[in-house]
Amino acid sequence: MNGYMKALVFQGVQEPLLYREDYPVPTPPEGWTLVRVAYAAINRRDIWIRQGLYAGIKAPCILGSDACGYCEGQRVVINPGLFWGENPEYQSRDFRVLGMPDDGTFADYVAVPRSNIYPAPSHLDDVHAAALPLAGVTAYRALFTRGKLQPQHTVLITGIGGGVAHLAMKMAIAIGAKVYVSSSRPSYIQQAVEEGAAEGVNYRDGDWDKQLKQMCPDGFDLIIDSAGGDAFARLVRLLRYGGRLVTYGGTLGPVNGLSPQVIFWKQLNIVGSTMGSDADFQAMLELVERHRITPDVGKVFPLQQGEEAFQWAWKGGRKKTVLQIR
């Protein structure tokens, strides 16, 4: 396909996004194809790139990892993790995420490997399907592949205001696990309880870990965390013997005060998780379809209002911000 398309173009760190209607339609290489994008969701990754807080930044580039669109007459979603590789335990050296350095989904068309295209979940409309892929696969791998979650487990999910954490909560509740949450906003905790979480704590409270200990005296089978920082060591102490802590982010920086004695004496497992393999993505879609899980969407903006959409996404919390492309 030749011609031009609408696109929201990243011009450089701290630079405004440029809306264009004359961006060349990509020419997919062998094994790739074009997806006509209907809706695309903004992720924290896109925000970090714009702030220069991401490795390998290049400009110009079209950001965007998530999308629902159409390919060869089929309604599809895109697995944003490219070239995971053959080993399910960890990604290959060639692994990268759609939307940097490859042009992403904030455009009429995006070129992706054919193997990264999947039928969209039938119960989700285009808007909500667009909000699923990156957060969904990250949550799934952290919970199930790395976290070994079972229905009888007791789980703590920190930072429930984040999109990944919120989807992880929905997935864990769907399979029958008992879920506790933390947040700095009481409204998020209340919303989580209304959606099926057992209880929650405000991590701004100085004794939040003691509160959780009272709620779950035997400790947690699994803790899912994306913050790290000084709170991490306190989370480790909340695990029961043989428990598992999965970290998929480090927004609060390095960990201080972590005692190896607690780890080895209680036979604990502390593991990292990033995105997910192709098998994780397929399993995530099956779980979402089976339990009719729906991502939360806060607001939809036309592509032309990209800057306004990013401002909303920065403040929007767990509800995803979506761009309407067509």
pLDDT digits (tens, 9 = 90+) for 96-139: 999 999 999 999 999 999 999 999 999 999 999 999 999 999 99
144 DSSP 8-state letter: I
Mean pLDDT of 307-317: 88
pLDDT digits (tens, 9 = 90+) for 250-309: 888 889 889 899 999 999 999 999 999 999 999 999 999 999 999 999 999 999 999 999
Res. 1 pLDDT band, cuts 50 70 90: low
pLDDT at 58: 93
Mean pLDDT of the chain: 96
Mean pLDDT of 148-156: 98
Residue-wise DSSP of 122-141? TTS-HHHHHTSHHHHHHHHI
Fold of 4-134+277-324: Quinone Oxidoreductase; Chain A, domain 1 (3.90.180)
pLDDT digits (tens, 9 = 90+) for 166-213: 999 999 999 999 999 999 999 999 999 999 999 999 999 999 999 999
Q: How far apart, in whole angstroms, are the C-alpha atoms of residue 246 and residue 268?
A: 11
Identify the three-state secondary structure at position 178: strand
Evaluate if residue 6 carries a pLDDT over 80. Answer: yes
Q: How far apart, in whole angstroms, are the C-alpha atoms of residue 203 and residue 235?
A: 11
Q: Answer with the residue of higher pLDDT: 250 or 43.
A: 43
80 DSSP 8-state letter: -
pLDDT at 316: 66
Q: Alpha-carbon dihedral of residues 87, 247, 221, 138, nearest 10 degrees?
A: -60
For residue 314, give every residue at least 6 positions away whose Cβ sits within 8 Å of its Cβ, in sequence order, or none.
47
Evaluate if residue 94 carries a pLDDT over 80. Answer: yes
Q: Tell me whether the CATH fold assigned to 4-134+277-324 matches the one assigned to 147-272.
A: no
pLDDT at 223: 98
73-87, 155-169, 278-292, 311-325: the lowest-pLDDT one: 311-325
Q: How far apart, in whole angstroms, are the C-alpha atoms of residue 106 and residue 94?
A: 23
* CATH class of this structure's domain 147-272: alpha beta
pLDDT at 253: 87
Would you say how long the chain is, in residues? 326
Q: What percent of the chain has pLDDT over 70?
A: 99
Res. 7 pLDDT band, cuts 50 70 90: very high
56, with CB counted inside 10 A (0-12, 13-18, 19+), is exposed
The structural domains of the chain, with segments of one domain joined by +, span 4-134+277-324, 147-272
pLDDT at 112: 98
Residue of 66, 1, 100 lying closest to 325 (CA atoms): 66
Evaluate if residue 18 carries a pLDDT over 80. Answer: yes
Is the peptide bond between 101 and the residue preceding it cis, with omega within 30 degrees of 0? Answer: yes
Evaluate if residue 234 carries a pLDDT over 80. Answer: yes
Q: How far apart, in whole angstroms, are the C-alpha atoms of residue 98 and residue 35?
A: 13
